[in-house]
Amino acid sequence: MTAFILASGGLTLLILFYLVFSLSRKIRVSDNRQALNAAVYRDQLQELAAEQADGSLAEKDYQQARDEVERRLLEDTAVNPEVTDRVSGSKVALALLLMIPVGSVGLYLWRGHPESFNPQQMQPVQMGAAQINTMVQSLAEKLSKDPNNPQGWAMLARSYMNLDKPQDAIKAFGHLTKEMDQDPQMMVDYAEALAADAQNRGDDKQMLEAQSWVLKALKLEPGNGKGLFMAGGFAVASKQFAQAVGYWGKLMPLLEPGSQDFTFVLENLNQARAQLKLPPVTADSFVGPEGPVKPQAQKGALSSTITGQVTVDQAFKDKIHPGETMFIFAKAVQGPPMPLAVIKTTADKLPMSFELTDAMAMSPQFNLSSVDLVRVEVRITQSGNPMPSSGDLFGSSLPLKPGSKGVELVINQVQP
> Residue 119 gets which letter from DSSP?
T
Residue 216 lies in a domain: yes
Enumerate residues 6+ apart whose C-beta is below 8 A from 334: 371, 373
> Residue 320 gets which letter from DSSP?
-
8 Å CB contact between 342 and 360 = yes
Residue 66 lies in a domain: no
Residues 260 and 332 in one domain: no
Note the pLDDT of residue 299: 38
- Averaged pLDDT, 331-350: 83
Residue 57 lies in a domain: no
Note the pLDDT of residue 213: 93
Residues 280 and 319 in one domain: no
- Averaged pLDDT, 56-74: 67
Does the structure show a pLDDT above 50 at 79?
A: no
Strand partners, 411: 312
Enumerate residues 6+ apart whose C-beta is below 8 A from 179: 150, 154, 186
DSSP per-residue letters across 2-53: HHHHHHHHHHHHHHHHHHHHH---------HHHHHHHHHHHHHHHHHHHHHH
Residues 147 and 25 in one domain: yes
Residue 7 DSSP SS3: helix
Residues 248 and 335 in one domain: no
Q: Which of 256, 284, 312 is the last residue of a domain?
A: 284
Poorest-confidence range of 11-15, 112-116, 121-125, 244-248?
121-125
Residue 262 lies in a domain: yes
Give me the CATH number covering residue 368: 2.60.40.1120
8 Å CB contact between 363 and 391 = no
Does the structure show a pLDDT above 80 at 296?
A: no
Give me the CATH number covering residue 22: 1.25.40.10
Q: Which of 252, 284, 316 is the last residue of a domain?
A: 284
Poorest-confidence range of 187-196, 333-342, 373-382?
333-342
> Residue 383 gets which letter from DSSP?
S
Helices (H), 146-203: 150-162, 166-173, 177-180, 184-201
pLDDT band at 100 (very low <50, low <70, confident <90, very high): low
8 Å CB contact between 378 and 345 = no
Handedness of CA 296, 302, 304, 309 (dihedral sign): positive
Residue 346 lies in a domain: yes
More confident residue, 164 or 274: 274
State how far the Cα of 319 lies from the Cα of 381, in Å rounded to an integer. 11
Closest Cα partner for 288 from 351, 228, 361?
Answer: 361
Q: Considering the entire predicted model, what is its pTM?
A: 0.46
8 Å CB contact between 384 and 286 = no
Residues 242 and 118 in one domain: yes
Residues 339 and 205 in one domain: no
Q: Which of 284, 314, 341 is the last residue of a domain?
A: 284
Q: 41-73 burial string, b = 16+ CB within 10 Å, else e?
A: beebeeebeeebeeeebeeeebeebbeebbbeb
Note the pLDDT of residue 310: 95
More confident residue, 259 or 277: 277
Residue ranges making up the domain that contains 386: 301-414
> Residue 285 gets which letter from DSSP?
G
What phi and psi, each to the nearest 5 degrees, are found at residue 297? -65, 145
Enumerate residues 6+ apart whose C-beta is below 8 A from 290: 342, 343, 344, 359, 360
State how far the Cα of 293 lies from the Cα of 362, in Å rounded to an integer. 5
Residue 70 lies in a domain: no
Residues 179 and 107 in one domain: yes
Strand partners, 352: 310
Residues 158 and 26 in one domain: yes
Residues 325 and 213 in one domain: no
More confident residue, 384 or 100: 384
Residues 380 and 327 in one domain: yes
Q: In the chain, pLDDT over 70 holds for what percent of residues?
A: 63
pLDDT band at 326 (very low <50, low <70, confident <90, very high): very high
Does the structure show a pLDDT above 90 at 83?
A: no
Number of folded domains that form the chain: 2
pLDDT band at 72 (very low <50, low <70, confident <90, very high): low
Residue 11 lies in a domain: yes
8 Å CB contact between 66 and 48 = yes
Does the structure show a pLDDT above 50 at 111?
A: no
Residues 113 and 183 in one domain: yes
Residue 41 lies in a domain: no
Does the structure show a pLDDT above 70 at 74?
A: no
The letter for the amino acid at 48 is L
Strands 341-346 and 325-332: antiparallel
Closest Cα partner for 353 from 311, 291, 398, 301?
Answer: 311
Write the pLDDT tens digit of every residue in 402-414: 888 999 999 988 8
Residues 188 and 322 in one domain: no
8 Å CB contact between 176 and 186 = yes
Q: 91-101 burial string, b = 16+ CB within 10 Å, else e?
A: ebbbbbbbbbb
CA 247 to chain centre: 18
The letter for the amino acid at 244 is A
Note the pLDDT of residue 110: 47
Enumerate residues 6+ apart whose C-beta is below 8 A from 294: 288, 359, 360
